Amino acid sequence: MYIYAFSNHQEVVFEQLSDKKKLLKTRVNRADNFVNLTLLGIEKCLQNIVLKKETHLYISSKDGNINSTIKILEAIFRKKQLPMPFNFLNSVNASILFFVAKNFGLEGKGIFTDSFDSALLQAYVDVKNGKTVLIGRVNEAIADLDLHRKKFKVQEITEQSQWLVLSPKQEGENALAQISDVKIKTSEQATKHSTNDLFDFLEDNNSQSSYPFNCKHLSFVVRKC
């Protein structure tokens, strides 16, 4: 399995969530922070690559569109109102797959899952079956930053939108790296690396050419091409 493109969008949040719309080439109706954060990472990933419409799409997130969910729960339980229809839609995890697929012309498989490395293993199966996969991880901050700090017990708040294009070896295309020796781990085996480590390794031009990763669900080796 080869990596043909990647992006490692991470932004530290200071006083408020950034206005991501200003940085996006594409504008999406009814897009909120989670949608724009997702699109921002993908735009960076796909700067030099056009995906075929059959490309499969995996989006992982530990909390999903948390701001839309909070808005709806506030409407229902605190204001005793019906939610706004499109707040409801944005809170449904499948909606982010739609926004990405629509904007980048994808009609393959679409899967939203809870963790990046569980998505990576599912993508590995697709690539073994000859498919190209766009796979990413998106974690947004709660707009109420005090609530975010309290809920997640952190001081520094970071948003992430990190993406890979994975494919079998393509004739005439230069891969950036190869992922090999993919193995499932048991939950008893220790985890040494996070998803950030993988993207930092890819981004670091001075890093060694080959590195074994030991994540929560799987282990694998990445060799830069």
Chain residues that interact with another protein, rule: CB under 8 A: 57, 61-64, 66, 69-70, 72-74, 76-77, 82-85, 88-89, 91-98, 101-102, 105-115, 118-119, 121-122, 124-126, 128-129, 147, 151, 184, 186-188, 217-218
Give min distance, CB of 193 to another protein, in A: 17
d(CA 68, CA 99): 15
- The smaller minimum CB distance to another protein, of residues 40 and 66, is found at 66
Give min distance, CB of 172 to another protein, in A: 27
Give min distance, CB of 83 to another protein, in A: 5
Please say whether the beta carbons of 67 and 142 come within 8 A. Answer: yes
- The smaller minimum CB distance to another protein, of residues 93 and 194, is found at 93
Query: CA angle 17-21-24, nearest 5°?
Result: 125
Give min distance, CB of 209 to another protein, in A: 27
DSSP assignment of 123-155 equals HHHHHHTT--EEEEEEEPPPSSHHHHHHHHT-S
Please say whether the beta carbons of 173 and 51 come within 8 A. Answer: no
